[in-house]
Amino acid sequence: MEPKEQVEALENKAMEDLNDVNDQDALMNFRNTYLAKKSELSALMGKMKDIPAELRGAFGKIVNDTRAKIEAAFNAKKEAIERKAMELKLKAEEIDLTLPGRTHQAGAVNPCWVIVDEMMDIFAGMGFDIVEGRDVETDHFNFELLNVPKDHPARDMQDTFYIDDSLLLRTQTSAAQAHYMLSKGGKEPIKMICPGKCFRRDDDDATHSHQFGQIEGLVVDKNISLADLKGTLELFVKKMFGEKREIRLRSSFFPFTEPSVEVDVSCAKCGGKGCNICKGTGWIEILGAGEVHPNVLRMCGYDPEVYSGFAFGVGIERLAMLRYGIDDIRRIYANDIRFLKDFSEK
């Protein structure tokens, strides 16, 4: 076959193969076959030395024109394939402008954190230190230093989750008070509160949870009496619930305080007259308190003949439920954004 005929045959074959090219991979294979440096078309140029000198110019022109035709057809096919790929991509990413837009909802602080922040502000304003406790405690700090020895009946009311024989999830933030008293060496006055989580093996219902928040307070100094406790709690209640709210103390029992009291606050709905919220009594129980037991002072390094003190503990969820009318404690932990939205609107 003459060189000219070889060029024409190669051109026809290239155009036929190009018709079958439909994607990028096939396009690349075509380019390597017909347009690369080692393609058949380039190989024909290598035969130039075998062609008579007077025919070389004409043959070179034929090869160059054929390369130009193949390149033009190749570029057109490449543009068509890329345009089709872009159309498919745009169709796959098509945005329906008739759909409603996505908006960002404003969040709200959980009511428990509102209560914690406000209580810390109130007590910090009264000169109390804010102390962080440990979620995992030893039996020694959680019970024994708080005048609850092994086999004491009070442990039954605070059954909790044990990690081993001596480690447990704390049942109350009072353990932080024992740590704090020991750190002072029995010589310095103390005014502190400790907010944190507590854990007890309890039934989950509208008013109980196996995990709950608690804030405990402790004051230790010379000549501290129950009157100091009442004055502190009266100021706290008025700042937290309003100037018209009153408190009353009722005798109770706690192993770590003596005497011990339950603290009630006058009902906000009826003003102390009696209603369905306060069950007709005019009062709602909010916390437990009392003077620090001499045994607790002694075990934590303070001489009960010299020092005295008072302690109190309040459930954070209970305050939130009373203040905001929350009917079920489980709503606080349910991670339901509708609850927080409702709360933020209030």
Residue 310 and residue 162 share a domain:
yes
CA distance 39 to 67: 11
Question: At how many degrees (to 10) do helices 111-125 and 226-241 cross?
Answer: 130
Assigned domain for 70 exists: yes
Write out the DSSP string of 174-206. Answer: HHHHHHHHHHTTT-S-EEEEEEEEEE-----SS
Assigned domain for 230 exists: yes
List beta partners, residue 125.
Answer: none
Assigned domain for 123 exists: yes
101 φ, ψ (degrees, to nearest 5): -70, 155
Q: 22 is in which domain, residue-wise? A: 3-92
Assigned domain for 175 exists: yes
301: left (phi over 0), alpha (psi -120 to 50) or beta: left
- pLDDT tens per residue across all 346 residues of the chain: 566 677 778 788 888 888 888 888 888 888 888 777 777 777 776 666 667 777 667 777 877 888 888 888 888 888 888 888 888 888 887 777 787 777 777 777 888 888 999 999 999 999 999 998 999 999 999 999 999 988 888 777 777 788 998 899 998 899 999 999 999 999 899 999 999 998 987 766 666 678 888 999 999 999 999 999 999 999 999 999 889 889 999 999 999 999 999 999 988 777 778 887 778 888 988 899 999 999 999 999 999 999 999 999 998 988 888 888 787 888 888 777 778 777 665 5
Residue 318 and residue 226 share a domain:
yes
Task: Kindly state the greatest CA–CA separation across the chain.
Answer: 129
Domain end residue (candidates: 57, 92, 127): 92
Question: Looking at residue 98, what is its pLDDT?
Answer: 80
Question: Looking at residue 145, what is its pLDDT?
Answer: 94
Domain end residue (candidates: 65, 92, 119): 92
Residue 239 and residue 184 share a domain:
yes
CA distance 337 to 174: 33
Write out the DSSP string of 101-125. Answer: PP-PPP----HHHHHHHHHHHHHHH
Nearest to 288 by CA among 323, 319, 252, 316: 252
Residue 139 and residue 225 share a domain:
yes
Q: What share of the chain is helix, strand, coil (3-state, %, to 5)?
A: 45, 20, 35
Assigned domain for 100 exists: no
Question: Number of folded domains in the chain?
Answer: 2
Write out the DSSP string of 250-264. Answer: EEEEETTEEEEEEEE
Residue 132 and residue 86 share a domain:
no
Residue 115 and residue 88 share a domain:
no
Assigned domain for 104 exists: no
Residue 121 and residue 83 share a domain:
no
Residue 161 and residue 71 share a domain:
no
pTM, two decimals, is: 0.66
Vertex 35: Cα angle to 29 and 38 (nearest 5): 90
Can you tell me which residue has the tokens 């100094």? 221
CATH number of the domain to which 313 belongs: 3.30.930.10
Residue 193 and residue 63 share a domain:
no
Assigned domain for 22 exists: yes
Residue 87 and residue 126 share a domain:
no
Token duo for residue 208: 């109980």
Question: Looking at residue 218, what is its pLDDT?
Answer: 97
Residue 130 and residue 80 share a domain:
no
Residue 228 and residue 141 share a domain:
yes
Assigned domain for 297 exists: yes
Question: Looking at residue 207, what is its pLDDT?
Answer: 64
Strands 190-199 and 129-130: parallel
Question: Looking at residue 146, what is its pLDDT?
Answer: 92
221: left (phi over 0), alpha (psi -120 to 50) or beta: beta
